[in-house]
Amino acid sequence: MLREIKNLVAFLTIVPLGMDQDYLRDTAKYMPLFPLVGVLTGSLAGLLAWLLSYVLPDLIIGVLTLGFILLITGLHHTDGLLDFGDGVMYQGPAEKKIEIMHDQQTGAGGLSLGLVTLLTTAFCIAELKRSLIIQSLVVSEVLAKLAMVLGAWLGSSAHEGMNTPFVNSMHGEHRRLRLAVAFTISLGIVLPLLRIAGFVAIVSAFISSLIMVDVSQRHFRGVTGDVFGAMNEIIRMVSLITILVAVKWV
């Protein structure tokens, strides 16, 4: 169990724990625990933002905190976001779209989606109140990881690749139980931290995840590793926007 958890954290972050030879199998097997890694990344980012809030302007805090999140996750999800944008914008068959996503160059679609998503995320972090900044970043990271679990559970594998073990795992034995575990963990973290605002964020993350899976099924005939990465980045942004709105109006 400890080995699998170590592989899970090492796969999703740059924490130098080292990955065993069977890291991909272990990570896929324990995918329902993804939200727990969100607690780790969100807590570290939140603590950094809270400390910076005493010495720096809000906008600088937003940019630096997002930079820290991207750094600690190794920019893997950001790369998927850019590839996802290129694939969706390309006009052609699903096979060609996936080929475009694997291209090393970033096109206008990926650049535009990346800029909008990352800038909006940074601005949202900048707008968070000091008293809620740690809780909000933990919640947004937890829901970003939950979105990937939901994507693997709902979507089919678009092609044979790194996405395949995760999709197969979430479609295998005890399929409903595995999703229930991920949701239970997420609810147990999000609701105590932000209460009604947290519940609204969960709903918005769930709806946004459904939309992204639908887009992926139509464009790529399934989900890919890049789709998972894009879901992580976009759902983080959506969650933060929702939290800002909910805190203001609830």
pLDDT tens per residue across span 56-73: 999 999 999 999 999 999
Largest CA distance in the chain: 51
pTM > 0.85: yes or no: yes
Residue-number span of the structural domain to which 137 is assigned: 2-10+33-243
Q: Mean of the per-residue pLDDT values for the chain? A: 93
Centroid of chain to Cα 2: 23
| Neighbour-count burial for 197-220, b at 16+ CB within 10 Å, e otherwise | bbebbbebbbebbeebbeebbebb
% of the chain at pLDDT higher than 70: 98
Q: Please count the structural domains in the chain.
A: 1
16 domain residue, yes or no: no
26 domain residue, yes or no: no
What digits encode the pLDDT tens for the residues 17-36? 776 667 788 889 899 999 99
27 domain residue, yes or no: no
Q: What is the pLDDT of residue 1?
A: 64
78 domain residue, yes or no: yes
What digits encode the pLDDT tens for the residues 115-157? 999 999 999 999 999 999 999 999 999 999 999 999 999 999 8
88 domain residue, yes or no: yes
More confident of the two residues 225 and 5: 225
